[in-house]
Structure 1
Amino acid sequence: MPVGKVYLVGAGPGDPKLITVRGLEALQRSEVVVYDRLAGPQLLSRIPDHVERIYVGKRPDRHTMKQEEINHLLVDLALQGKTVCRLKGGDPTVFGRVGEEAGLLKQNGIAYEIVPGITSAIAVPAYAGIPVTHRELASSFSVVTGHESPDKLDRSIHWDKVTNATGTLLFLMGVAKIGYISEQLIKHGRPPETPVALVRWGTRAEQATLVGTLQDIEKKVREANFQPPAVIVVGDVVKQREELQWIESKPLFGRRILVTRARSQASELADRIDELGGEPYEFPVIETRLPDRPETVEAIRTAISEAESYDWVILTSVNGVEFFFRWLELTGTDIRRFHRAEFAAVGPKTAEALRKRGIVPSALPERFRAESLLDSLGERVKAGQKALLPRGDLARELLPRELEALGVESVSLDVYETVPAGRKDEFLLEMLQEGGIHAITFTSSSTVINLLAALREMGVEEPAELLAGTKIACIGPVTAKTAEENGLAVTVRAESYTLDGLVQALIEYC
């Protein structure tokens, strides 16, 4: 059996977009991911389901696996011929014990790569508006472990040299020892009024910052019950926070928002949330795909073959546009065969999708709902006409019914079908149970139904009860009605039934 390979990868400080390109490539090509506590759940959620995950992290109250055991685990997995990603929070070479892991791999003749990551020592202060250096305040910085007991700290840290060696001092894993650290720094020459900042869970939704001085920071930590993990920043650069804090001023800062759209569509909403300072967590509960039932396929082919007979082609979603044109491609149909037809769209995104294909839609309802489409078309829709409606299998029957009432022959085509994504996510379940998801976005009735079904599959007997403390945001009244019928209290409703409207409603609520 050929020997595998191990990638020793820095995941960055928590924000999944802060992993390096090379680190992400290593993660995506691995068969096994060995990860610790500081690897962000968003990043872990992107690991394909077929990849084995092994948690070896440490918590303040217990160690899941000793370092020596982790070293041997990596060797054993590689000797089984597997490609392994050892995913570490921050940078693996900064208090990540990567030397020990790489050393044993080397001894056993196993190929490995060390993939640097962005260390929390610089990234976390930056997200709090604190640069670790400043032309006028600090031209150097030191990174020091604060994790050891006081006697070990005294043996590993030469306080008389470290205290004033650099303008900025950064202590990692030192919250529990903040009193001792402050005491030693004052004892060895740092003024008691030296600014200090503690930044907890930097770059993530839980980010919080506590500012004080060497003489009062221990009291403030105790009074605030400020818990690890946190980066401690000591020095005048802390004063820059008053001017430079940036992410806290964004409207969705501190909110982790669940995005339930299909993966192919989720990125747009997730990116908007991210730009506004929120933390999107993607959990696609639906997938859209081409139908494969013979009778459905035959109906689509027959309807498209009659392209010249239509007076209208009415599209009510971006998916409808995408899959309609896929069927044209699959059937070898030239769009010019629909030369008699006018194209109509519901919603600006649907209209935009048509324009990208060189088609300017004839009507755009103001309210972005199927009910408004006929009002927009007015007298242009006449009895005796024929309309093609490419849509999904879960589309409502309102529009075909209204067209038939006007004497218009409507041909409804299920050009795509919506199915449950069928995923399980232990991280999502844990965050919901601990209140770590602050809002859930629903963009269709199917996302409501399938999220509740997914939670039941993960062992939640009463999903509505689990979500009772989470804000529910819906894109429109139909989706909101479905949520309420399933026991969810809708707290955020979009004024305009678009992603922009949904995001704006979240901003106003938050």
Structure 2
Amino acid sequence: MKRNGVVYLVGAGPGDPGLITQKGLNRLGSCDALVYDSLASDYFLDEVPDHCRKIYVGKRAGAHSMKQEEINRLLVELAEEGLNVVRLKGGDPFVFGRGGEEILALSEAGIPFEVVPGVTSAVAALSMAGIPVTHRAVSRSFHVMTGHTLSDNGTLPPDFDSFAKLSGTLVFLMGLSNLSLIVNGLIKNGKPEDTPAAVIENGTLPEQRTVRGTLADIENRAEQAEIKSPAIIVAGDVAALDFSSTLSLPLKGCRIGITGTESFAGRLRRELLKYGGMTDNVLTLSTQSHRSGEAMKEAYKSLKSYSWLVFTSANAVREFFTGLFEGGYDLRLLGTIRFAAIGKGTADELLKTGFHADYIPDCYQVKDLAEGLKSLLTKEDRLLIPRSAGGSPELNRVLDEAGVFYDDIVLYDVALKKSEQESMEKVLAPLHYLTFASASGVDAFFQGAREKVLPSLASLKVVCIGDITAKALCRYGREADLIAPVYSISGLTEVICQDWCREKE
């Protein structure tokens, strides 16, 4: 008899993808099916294995694309197929997340489950706004109530008067449309009009905004500031405190879209996060290997005839050595070969295999790589250049002019990885910058949708890793706003940091 799979109810946290737990990420990394709601970041969709089935159930206030009973049934059916399922929910599964209902359905069907708690916005959004939910001698407790179900009939629930009379901090989630009812209900039930209050929009995200006031004027202040959902309402003395972070990272408040392979996107994301930026994976490229093709098979057989191996990307390094070992060869075959790497990232990847790069150009561009190599080579040298199908012809031009003997072999190709993301227009809307790391990435971005996405680029700055990538962008009618002078992740990060700091001056 086929064994049932397991369902993991995972809390995605309050919005900032960095606030998911490590255990939650581990569950995402090994699941067969992902059932997810509307999330603040599509980052999580790229954390699941390639074979994972992604099923969007669209839980959003007032616009549920799938009823809760249907979601319950879906989880059971997927687990009965023997799949390990992650049910990813914003915040914590049990803080107005209806996780309990899903567990009851799983239990009735005999499906094993695990709950992975998440950070709730009821605490995190306040913390990011500098409002402590408790503070000695100010608030000894906090209480959370859902706000969007307060007024099915235009009235407050019967237990609201008891809630309003509680001491400490009162927090209302999803209640912006009922702000007037909540404020008037609190005052009517004894809260003084001068009680501090706050409304926090987009908590923990770069576009977070906080409006402070009192119960007497918070409604007008929120309206004047044009605060929109999702928003959290806070009432209590702690709302008058401001313990906002004083650490000013250079990319604080900046949201950056990333295009590229999973490996590149992960490294760039980690670098940008170090400087306080928030990232969204806009487009993910997958590598399609040709290392077992006839051209590469012949190259591996003839490795001893080459004096230089030239790598123009970290992907090329990984693909080359994987093919080397798959072919039954080992590192002894490379004993007399020298290595050239286009930049530090590629050289670092090479070093993981045990080899230092013999040559890295000062500027990490293909032209500089070729020009530098030209001065090091003799007529006896023979180069092997295993690289992407979309490699720059600039390398060939310089080497041909110098009369260098080389074999330029397609080792891999890059292609758009299918995704269940929202429309590109919605993905781009909240971004301040969009990064491109290759001409292939530019081509994939505009593939079949040039007219649709081009207008969406008008409201953000496009950043290219080098001139070749920028030229590819120009072919689609858009010039790069920023070009990283150094062909590397640090170069991209530096040029964004400099521009963002100028914008804030």
> TM-score with structure 2 length normalisation?
0.85
Q: Decide whether aligned partners of structure 1 residues 378 and 408 sit closer, same or farther in structure 2, where only a CA change above 3 A counts.
A: closer
Q: Decide whether aligned partners of structure 1 residues 8 and 337 sit closer, same or farther in structure 2, where only a CA change above 3 A counts.
A: closer
Q: Decide whether aligned partners of structure 1 residues 417 and 89 sit closer, same or farther in structure 2, where only a CA change above 3 A counts.
A: same
Q: Aligned residue for 1:233?
A: 234
Q: Is the contact made by 2:450 and 2:476 (CA closer than 8 Å) also made in structure 1?
A: no
Q: Aligned residue for 1:256?
A: 255
Separation in structure 2 between the aligned mates of residue 190 and residue 389 of structure 1, nearest angstrom? 74
Q: Aligned residue for 1:424?
A: 419
Choose from 446, 451, 457 the match for 1:452.
446
Choose from 162, 165, 179 the match for 1:163.
165
Letter matched to residue 193 of structure 1: D
Shift in Å at residue 127 of structure 1? 2.2
SS in 2 for 1:122: helix
Separation in structure 1 between the aligned mates of residue 178 and residue 172 of structure 2, nearest angstrom? 10
Q: Is the contact made by 2:424 and 2:453 (CA closer than 8 Å) also made in structure 1?
A: no
Q: Aligned residue for 1:325?
A: 321
Shift in Å at residue 472 of structure 1? 1.2
Choose from 421, 434, 440 the match for 1:440.
434
Shift in Å at residue 172 of structure 1? 1.2
Separation in structure 2 between the aligned mates of residue 390 and residue 29 of structure 1, nearest angstrom? 32
Q: Aligned residue for 1:394?
A: 390
Q: Decide whether aligned partners of structure 1 residues 386 and 21 sit closer, same or farther in structure 2, where only a CA change above 3 A counts.
A: closer
Q: Is the contact made by 1:13 and 1:38 (CA closer than 8 Å) also made in structure 2?
A: no
Choose from 349, 367, 377 the match for 1:371.
367
SS in 2 for 1:59: coil
Shift in Å at residue 267 of structure 1? 0.4
Q: Is the contact made by 2:388 and 2:414 (CA closer than 8 Å) also made in structure 1?
A: no
Shift in Å at residue 104 of structure 1? 4.2
Shift in Å at residue 344 of structure 1? 3.1
Q: Aligned residue for 2:265?
A: 266
Q: Is the contact made by 1:384 and 1:407 (CA closer than 8 Å) also made in structure 2?
A: no
Choose from 59, 72, 87 the match for 2:61.
59
Choose from 331, 340, 344 the match for 2:340.
344
Q: Is the contact made by 2:374 and 2:399 (CA closer than 8 Å) also made in structure 1?
A: no
Shift in Å at residue 352 of structure 1? 2.9
Q: Aligned residue for 2:406?
A: 410
Structure 2 residue 469 is matched with structure 1 residue 479: yes
Structure 2 residue 245 is matched with structure 1 residue 245: yes
Separation in structure 1 between the aligned mates of residue 291 and residue 338 of structure 2, nearest angstrom? 29
Letter matched to residue 9 of structure 1: V
Shift in Å at residue 165 of structure 1? 2.2
Deviations 1:455-494 (A, max 9, x none): x2xx665443443434211011111011011212311211
Separation in structure 1 between the aligned mates of residue 341 and residue 332 of structure 2, nearest angstrom? 18
Stretch moving more, 337-346 or 297-306 = 337-346
Q: Is the contact made by 1:303 and 1:411 (CA closer than 8 Å) also made in structure 2?
A: no
SS in 1 for 2:287: strand
Deviations 1:281-336 (A, max 9, x none): 224543234315643133312431425xx2x4333332333333334434454545
Shift in Å at residue 268 of structure 1? 0.6
Choose from 379, 386, 409 the match for 1:383.
379
Letter matched to residue 438 of structure 2: S
Q: How many percent identity over aligned positions?
A: 37
SS in 2 for 1:155: coil
Q: Aligned residue for 1:488?
A: 478
SS in 2 for 1:261: strand
Letter matched to residue 143 of structure 2: S
Q: Is the contact made by 2:11 and 2:91 (CA closer than 8 Å) also made in structure 1?
A: yes
Q: Decide whether aligned partners of structure 1 residues 349 and 23 sit closer, same or farther in structure 2, where only a CA change above 3 A counts.
A: closer
Letter matched to residue 55 of structure 2: R
Q: Is the contact made by 1:285 and 1:450 (CA closer than 8 Å) also made in structure 2?
A: no
Q: Aligned residue for 1:125?
A: 126
Deviations 1:107-134 (A, max 9, x none): 4544443332221111111222322122
Shift in Å at residue 211 of structure 1? 1.9
Q: How many residues align?
A: 496
Structure 2 residue 365 is matched with structure 1 residue 362: no
Q: Is the contact made by 1:129 and 1:246 (CA closer than 8 Å) also made in structure 2?
A: no
Separation in structure 1 between the aligned mates of residue 87 and residue 316 of structure 2, nearest angstrom? 42
Choose from 480, 498, 503 the match for 1:508.
498
Give runs of aligned pairs for residues 83-122 of structure 1, distance below 5 A: 84-122=85-123
Mind listing any 5+ residue stretches in structure 1 that lack a counterpart? Answer: none
Q: Is the contact made by 1:286 and 1:421 (CA closer than 8 Å) also made in structure 2?
A: yes
Separation in structure 1 between the aligned mates of residue 116 and residue 54 of structure 2, nearest angstrom? 20
Deviations 1:60-113 (A, max 9, x none): 4x4444545545555566567665544322122222233333334444544443
Query: CA RMSD of the aligned region, Å?
Result: 3.2
Deviations 1:196-220 (A, max 9, x none): 2222222234422222222211001
Letter matched to residue 90 of structure 2: G
Give runs of aligned pairs for residues 165-184 of structure 1, distance below 5 A: 165-166=167-168, 168-184=169-185
Q: Aligned residue for 1:153?
A: 156
Q: Decide whether aligned partners of structure 1 residues 285 and 20 sit closer, same or farther in structure 2, where only a CA change above 3 A counts.
A: closer
Letter matched to residue 223 of structure 2: R
SS in 1 for 2:385: strand
Q: Is the contact made by 2:365 and 2:486 (CA closer than 8 Å) also made in structure 1?
A: no
Q: Aligned residue for 2:197?
A: 196
Separation in structure 2 between the aligned mates of residue 337 and residue 367 of structure 1, nearest angstrom? 30
Q: Is the contact made by 2:196 and 2:239 (CA closer than 8 Å) also made in structure 1?
A: yes
Letter matched to residue 196 of structure 1: A
Q: Is the contact made by 1:164 and 1:189 (CA closer than 8 Å) also made in structure 2?
A: no
Shift in Å at residue 497 of structure 1? 2.2
Shift in Å at residue 32 of structure 1? 4.7
Letter matched to residue 10 of structure 2: V
Separation in structure 2 between the aligned mates of residue 144 and residue 282 of structure 1, nearest angstrom? 33
Stretch moving more, 115-124 or 98-107 = 98-107
Separation in structure 2 between the aligned mates of residue 217 and residue 421 of structure 1, nearest angstrom? 47
Stretch moving more, 416-425 or 23-32 = 23-32
Deviations 1:408-445 (A, max 9, x none): 3223343x212313413332525247x23432211111
Deviations 1:335-360 (A, max 9, x none): 45555444333222233334444444
Separation in structure 2 between the aligned mates of residue 410 and residue 100 of structure 1, nearest angstrom? 64
> TM-score with structure 1 length normalisation?
0.85
